[in-house]
Amino acid sequence: MKLAFITDPLSGLKPAKDSSIAMMRSAATRGHEVWTIQRPSLSWRDGVVSAQALHINPAGSDAAWFSIVGHQHLPLTAFDAVLMRQDPPFDFEYIVATWLLERAQAAGARIFNDPRAIRDHSEKVALAEFAEFAPTTLIARDPAEIHAFIDELGEAILKPLDGMGGSSIFHVRRGDPNRNVIVEMLTAFGARSIMAQRYLPAIREGDKRILLIAGEPVPYSLARIPQAGESRGNLAAGGTGVARELSARDREIAVALAPTLWARGLLIVGLDVIGEQLTEINVTSPTCFVEIAQQTGFDVAAKAIDALERQCA
C-alpha cells in the first residue's frame, strides 16, 4: 500500500513516544510506502485535492528517525489511504483541512479518520451524546452559570473546548480566591463556551486512555498518573503512563461506544476515563500506542495497520 500521514512538522515529532511514527514504522516493515504531508500544502483546484508529499523511510532513531526517499506533488487519490494525524488546536484552518479532505474523499480517496466525523466530533462536546457514562458536566459560556455549578458541586474541573495535552485545565474549589479570574480568562468574560465537570478524586489513580481501533477496544489502557501536587494526568503535563488491563467498567464503556464511532468512519479513537466516568472522546490524533506496546507487548500500531489493510483490500 501507499500510505500518507498528515502530521505536524516531522522535526518536532518524538520517535520514542509518537504514535504516528509507530504506525509509519509498522507499515514500512510490511513493505508499504510511507509518505507524509504537511497540512498547509493541501489545496483544491478544478475538482482535485492535492498536496506536496514527502516519501520517507522511518527506520532511523532519535532526531534522525527518518530519511527522505523522494517528494512529489500528488492528488490524495494517489494513495491507498490518507491518515489525518495532526494535533489540535482545532481552529479554522483545521476545519478548512476537513473540508478539503472531504472533497478528496468524494473523489475516491480513503481518509482516516473520516473528515466529517472529525469535524462533527468535538473532543469535549461529543461527550454529550454519551452522557450516561459521563460525570456531571456543564458546557456553557455564562460565568454566572459556571459559578453556580462550582457552588453546587464544591469543586470542579474547568477546561477550554479546543485544548489538548492538559493545557489550560483548572481544578477550582468553591472557596478558591482565584476562581473569578479563572472563569473570566477561560470564558473571555462570557464570550467563549467552556466545559466544567465534577472533580473526580479517582484522578489520583490515573486518567486512563482507552484506544478503539476499527471498532474494537485495545485490551490495555494507559493510566496517566498525575505528578505530586497536580490534578492533570496528561503526559504532556508531566504525568506518568502505566499500562493496565481494561477493567469491567472500561470495557463496558468501550464496547458501548465503539460500534457507533466506527460506523462514522472513526478508525482510531481515544477514550479518556477517570475512575468509572468517561471524560473525553479524542478523534484527531489519539496517542499512547508506544507506551502500551512497550509495557505490555501488545502492538497497537500493528493493529491499526491491520485495520488499514482490511479497509484497503
Q: What is the pLDDT of residues 105-142, one digit of tens each?
A: 999 999 999 999 999 999 999 999 999 999 999 999 99
131 occurs within a structural domain: no
Q: Which of 209, 234, 291, 303 is catalytic?
A: 209
**Cell numbers placing 163:** 485544548
Residues 163 and 88 occupy one common structural domain: no
Q: How many domains does the chain have?
A: 3
Residues 275 and 209 occupy one common structural domain: yes
Share of the chain above pLDDT 90, in %: 90
282 is catalytic: yes
126 occurs within a structural domain: no
Q: Which residues contact 67 (CB under 8 A, 6 or more apart)?
A: 56, 57, 59, 60
310 occurs within a structural domain: no
Q: Contact at 8 Å (CB) between 210 and 254?
A: yes
Residues 194 and 216 occupy one common structural domain: no
25 is catalytic: no
Out of 29-33, 145-149, 224-228, pick the least confident.
224-228
Residues 9 and 98 occupy one common structural domain: yes
* pLDDT for 64: 92
CATH number at residue 158: 3.30.1490.20
Average pLDDT, the chain: 95
Residues 106 and 192 occupy one common structural domain: no
Asked if residue 176 has pLDDT above 80, the reply is: yes
306 occurs within a structural domain: no
Residues 175 and 189 occupy one common structural domain: yes
Choosing from 46, 81, 114, the residue where a domain stops is 114
* pLDDT for 234: 64
Give the 3-state secondary structure of the chain.
CEEEEEECCHHHCCCCCCHHHHHHHHHHHCCCEEEEEEHHHCEEECCEEEEEEEEEECCCECCECCEEEEEEEEEHHHCCEEEECCCCCCCHHHHHHHHHHHHHHHCCCCEECCHHHHHHCCCCHHHHHHHHHCCCEEEECCHHHHHHHHHHHCEEEEEECCCCCCCCCEEEECCCCCHHHHHHHHHCCCCCCEEEEECCHHHHHCEEEEEEECCEEEEEEEEEECCCCCCCCCHHHCCEEEEEECCHHHHHHHHHHHHHHHHCCCCEEEEEEECCEEEEEECCCCCCHHHHHHHHCCCHHHHHHHHHHHHHC
Q: What is the pLDDT of residues 34-45, one digit of tens each?
A: 999 999 999 999
* pLDDT for 229: 60
Choosing from 81, 114, 147, the residue where a domain stops is 114
Q: Which of 162, 234, 250, 282 is catalytic?
A: 282
Buried b (16+ CB within 10 A) or exposed e, 193-211: bbbbbbbbeebebbbbbbb
130 occurs within a structural domain: no
Share of the chain above pLDDT 70, in %: 96
Asked if residue 232 has pLDDT above 80, the reply is: no
Residues 97 and 72 occupy one common structural domain: yes
Residues 244 and 189 occupy one common structural domain: no
Domain span at 208: 204-299
* Average pLDDT score over residue span 285-309: 97
Question: What is the rounded distance in angstroms from the CA atom of residue 79 to the CA atom of residue 310?
Answer: 15
224 is catalytic: yes
215 occurs within a structural domain: yes
Q: What is the pLDDT of residues 5-17, one digit of tens each?
A: 999 999 999 999 9
Asked if residue 226 has pLDDT above 70, the reply is: yes
180 occurs within a structural domain: yes
30 is catalytic: no
Q: Which of 224, 250, 291, 303 is catalytic?
A: 224
Residues 186 and 212 occupy one common structural domain: no
Q: Which of 232, 234, 291, 303 is catalytic?
A: 232
Residues 109 and 8 occupy one common structural domain: yes
17 is catalytic: no
Residues 172 and 91 occupy one common structural domain: no
57 is catalytic: no
Q: Which of 25, 85, 110, 159 is catalytic?
A: 159
Given pLDDT bands bounded at 50, 70 and 90, which one contains residue 150? Answer: very high
85 is catalytic: no
CA triplet 180, 183, 184: central angle to 5 degrees? 80
Out of 73-77, 139-143, 222-226, pick the least confident.
222-226
Given pLDDT bands bounded at 50, 70 and 90, which one contains residue 231? Answer: low
Given pLDDT bands bounded at 50, 70 and 90, which one contains residue 279? Answer: very high
124 is catalytic: yes
Choosing from 155, 182, 199, the residue where a domain stops is 199
Determine whether 139 is exposed, middle or buried from the number of CB atoms within 10 Å of its CB (0-12, 13-18, 19+).
middle
Q: What is the pLDDT of residues 240-265, one digit of tens each?
A: 999 999 999 999 999 999 999 999 99
CATH number at residue 33: 3.40.50.20
Residues 212 and 255 occupy one common structural domain: yes
pTM for the whole structure: 0.94
Question: What is the rounded distance in angstroms from the CA atom of residue 269 to the CA atom of residue 283?
Answer: 5
* pLDDT for 233: 59
Q: Which of 124, 179, 198, 303 is catalytic?
A: 124
Asked if residue 277 has pLDDT above 70, the reply is: yes
Buried b (16+ CB within 10 A) or exposed e, 281-306: bbbbbbbbbbbbbeebebbbbbbbbe
278 occurs within a structural domain: yes
CATH number at residue 276: 3.30.470.20
